[in-house]
Amino acid sequence: MNRSILTLAVLTWSITAVFAGSTEKLVKSKPEKVTVYISGAQVFRNADVTLQAGQNQVILEGLEAGVDQQSIQAGGKGNFIITGVQYQVHYPELQAVKANGDAKYYKLVKQINDSLVELDFDMKEVIVKKEGLLTEKNVLLNNRLYKGESKKDSLELLKNGLTYLREKLLNINLELLKLERQEMIVQKKRNDLNNRLAEINNDLTAQSYPTEPAKTDYRIIIDVIADAATPASINVNYYVSNAGWTPIYDLRTEGVESPVKLTYKALVRQSTGADWKDVRLTLSTGNPHQSFTLPALSAWYLGVYHPKGKQKFRGYYDDDAKKDMASKSTMGAGAVPTDMYSAMDTMKDAEYNTSYTTMQDNYVQAEFEIKLPYTIPSDNKTHIVAVMNKELPTKYVYRSVPKLDMNAYLTARVTGWEDMNLLPGQATLFFAGTYVGQTYLNSVEVNDTLNLTLGQDKSIVVKREKQKDKIKEKLLDNDKVYTFAYEIQVKNGNAKNIDIEIQDQLPLSNNKQVVIEKENTNGASYEENTGILTWKNTIKAKDSKKINFSYTIKAPKEMPIAVR
């Protein structure tokens, strides 16, 4: 037994057999395995056939539309030799015309296909010429004289060299322009010929099959030589573009004493014209369309900017945009149920199909091999495929920003998701069996903690008030000093202790004449670049806590200060 592998893409639509006198065998095949990428898919098919002694053509019919001819690979097992592989778009109407003896259309189609072959060679010739010119241009641009690195040349030699470079570069660029025009002409001719083929097909369909035209058949033809009649197994794989998948997630937790369970799912779609029935799916995070060319750095010459008059470097000295230091959480629309501590069901959980997924990480892309068979029809609709489930370490913390919102939000801080090879996608939140809302899981972030907001807890009351008796103004020489003070009250109405983070902020100044100083922060952590104060507290059940903080602002007395 031997195994032959050959990759060959034929850039033409072939109508006739390559070898006269070879034995043609039309073979039905089904996709056994499909690797679906974010965009596109690799399809693997297998077919069993009995070969005759001599030359054979194994024609795999009923394939997907949009096959990338460059990606076709063929192999097999048996006592035979693969001598060629080609892709064919088969028009039943044209074959019917041929069988009826209509040589005019057959001759026209053959002429068009012969012209397409010649145009393909013309296109290759243009590409080769462009590559040669670009190489010559890069050599000139990397010349030491052009870079100004030559130290021995006289001024006259330098002038002559630059004149030569200018003339050569001008000639090269003009030749490249001509080749681009030629490439456009060749491509237009190819498009016109392909459109002509489509018109012939439509004409024949209207003449011969006015009610129900036969379906166009996409085929791969494998030329095989066998010494004697023998059974053989032929396999092919190829890439199709009109398929893909999108990740979505479910994030579920039964309560503040349970970890978050992440369910990884995929929305798989395809519109290739062929259904994938009971196939072994592999979901890949790779993208065959991405560039595999390693970028190269070129010389970086530093430019100098000379401002006119008193113009300032914008971005270094101007500070027109003022930042809003507080962010309001928008994740989660539902409220936390009052009874969050109900007993867990002791019955055995049902088994999920995610138990039949194996993940492989090959450093460049991750692949999820689904062991259960799936059927993905060619309807361009999304079909849910379960990928995996995982319980993640979770810490529950209440958070509140009373300056913006007098509510306490239950948040889950989730870790341990980095090794799951997650892609950015929409996630649905469930808390204690109740739908909470939608969020976006951004796995691209470097932060290893995923913060989820599960909703408001109305049993926790938060108030923020100005302490009017401590707010005052006083003059100090030519400056005015403002004092501001606030009190935050938090009452825990739950039957259990809670951990809660309270955030507020101090104003920041970008003017040296305005000085802001902390007076009392009540043990809060302070972020210098944002002015945010954070208090971390544990409040006992049915208990409350007060937080006081104050600050001063010193500014010239004639300068108005606006503080919220």
DSSP string, 388-442: EEEEE-EEEEEEE-TTT-S--EEEEEE---GGG-PPSEEEEEEETTEEEEEEEE-
* Cβ(441)–Cβ(264) below 8 Å: no
The H helix count followed by the E strand count for the chain is 4, 28
**CATH architecture, range 104-208:** Orthogonal Bundle (1.10)
- Please report, for the chain, the start and end positions of each structural domain, with discontinuous segments joined by +: 104-208, 461-556
The pLDDT confidence band at residue 355, using thresholds 50, 70 and 90, is low
Q: Is the separation of the CB atoms in 485 and 466 below 8 Å?
A: yes
Q: How does pLDDT run across 23-56, given as a tens digit for each residue? A: 888 998 889 999 999 999 999 999 999 999 999 9
Q: Is the pLDDT of residue 5 over 50?
A: no
Residues facing 49 on adjacent strands: 232
Q: How confident is the model at residue 205 (pLDDT cuts 50, 70, 90)?
A: low
Residue-wise pLDDT for 215-247, tens only, equals 788 999 999 999 999 999 999 999 998 999 999
Distance, in Å, from the CA atom of 440 to the CA atom of 421, rounded to the nearest integer, reads 16
Asked if CATH classification 2.60.40 holds for the domain at 461-556, the reply, yes or no, is yes
Indicate the average pLDDT of the chain.
Answer: 79
For the chain, give the percent of residues with pLDDT over 70.
Answer: 75
Distance between CA 518 and CA 520 in Å, rounded? 6
Query: Of residues 412 and 314, which shows the higher confidence score?
Result: 412
